[in-house]
A and B are shown apart, each in its own frame.
Chain A
Amino acid sequence: MLAILEYGAGNQTSVRRALKHLRIPCVITADPATLARVEGIIFPGVGAAGQAMRALVANGAAGALRLAVERGVPLLGICLGCQILLTRSEENDTRTLDIVPGVCRRFEKDLAQEDGSLVQVPHMGWNSLRARAKSPLLEGIAHDAEFYFVHSYYVNPMSSFVIATTFYGFEFCSMYGRDGLWAVQFHPEKSGAPGLTLLRNFYSYCRESRCAQ
């Protein structure tokens, strides 16, 4: 059983639908006892960092999430969830969860894509990953598979955490983490087959790590 962290994130239903399609049991919750007990947690997110942090603190999800991570429950942050796991966000100059050291910055304007056209912010659409480290989450996914992105800020975690980068005017980090704690800037729940594979890989890891305990 996976938990989707409840704090009113816009994409929590999309994530639930994708898990249902994959026949992965899940519950949407912010209850600390449940979060400590599940096999893994998905931390979704759409919108602005400041408002999301307020919601996370207000319903106790921030504390419950921190506790579950300390207990070693596997975690997958998605989009805004990926950004908020870092120390700080330039968006409304927000102090965020600080579970992974790093900051979240706004895309610069006036950067050019490979074909010379200027980048537009938000970065919205399908883009590919360049793997920088091995990850069980990317198992079985073609190296040039594309994922769906929608974001105006990008994550800059401590470099040892970077798993994949994506080019949009420059190479930014699109996936980071270590075993049992991952975050992706794109939306696996909206990225067709490769996205669904990534979610299934996360669940497989959760099952295996639970069995190993």
Chain B
Amino acid sequence: MLSKRVIPCLDVRAGRLTKGIQFVGNEDIGDPVERARRYYEEGADEIIFYDITASAESRGIFLDVVERVAEQIFIPFSVGGGIATVPQMREVLLAGAEKISVNSAAVCNPRIISEGADAFGSQAIVVGMDVLKVPVCEAIPSGYEIVIYGGRKRMGMDALAWAVRCQDLGAGELCVNSIDADGTKNGYELTLTRAVVNAVSLPVIASGGAGEPRHMYEAVSAGGASAALVASIVHYGAYSIRDCKAYMARCGAKVRRLW
């Protein structure tokens, strides 16, 4: 049986690692390549890198980070941030990534999902969704709305309907980030996670809100997610990836142990 995955997420700005709280106030917390290697050695099952500046001038620096990571870590990793075209996808795959994560670009132009899946296979296309809890209304029957541009723009789109659409377009995986929970360390938004898991037959990565290993266990058990994404919980040394996985295993989750 497949193991539940633990996926550290590294936000990279101009070649440096940063971590913001609810999408604002980013601070420099180190070298992403060094950090990726440490997480790999601690037992991370996969790593996600986001180029959070994603400007034309930072693109080259970021690709260099991707290449240096690929030379040192021998587990799959995804790359996201400002990727909007098939040639841009090809660029990061050639630099050594296994998967591309698209978010705002997919909402603005859903065809990029099917074009990416056709060109590189569904397994290479992860759709990241930033989701805000809102009052239920006609356009948003689930009470979960899609927002883009790093949480700045509400789209009036229902998150569950979007999740199903992403699946139909050929996405291989969904990374569901709760903006309400992100950075709070109060736990994942389990109701949202479970709702998306039930709506699609794709692997779902729960994101946003991990503050202790128990939250990660909840994401893959009650939440039904295939993977738990972590950031500040491991970035600041509160827990190591190994601590998190050991806890999950003790609770009964199947996780990959290190040898």
- A168: which of B2, B71, B202 is its contact (CB, 8 Å)? B2
> Which stretch, B91-99, B151-159, B188-196, B234-242, touches the partner chain A?
B91-99
> Which stretch, A67-75, A93-101, A131-139, A190-198, touches the partner chain B?
A190-198
Cross-chain contact B123 with A192 (CB below 8 angstroms)? no
Find residues 172-206 in chain A having any chain B CB closer than 8 Å to their own CB: 189-196
Find residues 114-152 in chain A having any chain B CB closer than 8 Å to their own CB: 114-115, 118, 120, 122-127, 141-142, 144-146, 148, 150
Cross-chain contact A195 with B94 (CB below 8 angstroms)? no
Find residues 86-113 in chain B having any chain A CB closer than 8 Å to their own CB: 93-94, 96, 98
Cross-chain contact B74 with A191 (CB below 8 angstroms)? yes
Q: Could you say which of B2, B40, B72, B94 has the most chain A C-beta atoms within 10 Å of its C-beta?
A: B2
Q: Chain B interface secondary structure, helix, strand, loop or mixed?
A: loop
CA gap between A18 and B2 in the complex, in Å: 24
Cross-chain contact B96 with A14 (CB below 8 angstroms)? yes
Tell me if A63 is interfacial: C-beta within 8 Å of chain B: no
Least CB distance, A61 to chain B, in whole angstroms: 20
Tell me if B256 is interfacial: C-beta within 8 Å of chain A: yes
Cross-chain contact B74 with A190 (CB below 8 angstroms)? yes
CA gap between A144 and B45 in the complex, in Å: 16
CA gap between A48 and B256 in the complex, in Å: 28
Tell me if B150 is interfacial: C-beta within 8 Å of chain A: no
Least CB distance, B239 to chain A, in whole angstroms: 20
Least CB distance, B7 to chain A, in whole angstroms: 11
Find residues 103-157 in chain B having any chain A CB closer than 8 Å to their own CB: 120-123
B residues in contact with A127, CB < 8 Å: 1-3
Tell me if B70 is interfacial: C-beta within 8 Å of chain A: yes
Least CB distance, B85 to chain A, in whole angstroms: 18
- Beta-carbon nearest neighbor of A193 in chain B: B259
Count the A residues whose beta carbon is within 8 Å of the partner chain — how many? 38
Cross-chain contact A10 with B256 (CB below 8 angstroms)? no
Tell me if B5 is interfacial: C-beta within 8 Å of chain A: yes
Q: Could you say which of A124, A127, A193 has the most chain B C-beta atoms within 10 Å of its C-beta?
A: A124
Cross-chain contact A192 with B75 (CB below 8 angstroms)? yes
CA gap between A126 and B74 in the complex, in Å: 13
A residues in contact with B2, CB < 8 Å: 113, 123-127, 168
CA gap between A114 and B3 in the complex, in Å: 12
Residue pairs across A and B with Cβ atoms less than 8 A apart, 27 shown, are A14-B96, A14-B98, A17-B70, A17-B71, A17-B96, A21-B72, A21-B74, A48-B121, A113-B1, A115-B1, A118-B201, A125-B45, A127-B1, A127-B2, A127-B3, A142-B259, A144-B257, A145-B259, A148-B75, A148-B76, A150-B123, A189-B74, A190-B74, A190-B75, A192-B40, A193-B259, A195-B74
Chain B residues close to A by CB (< 8 Å): 1-3, 5, 40, 45, 70-72, 74-76, 93-94, 96, 98, 120-123, 172-173, 201-203, 226, 254, 256-259
Chain A residues close to B by CB (< 8 Å): 10, 13-14, 17-18, 20-21, 46-48, 113-115, 118, 120, 122-127, 141-142, 144-146, 148, 150, 167-168, 189-196
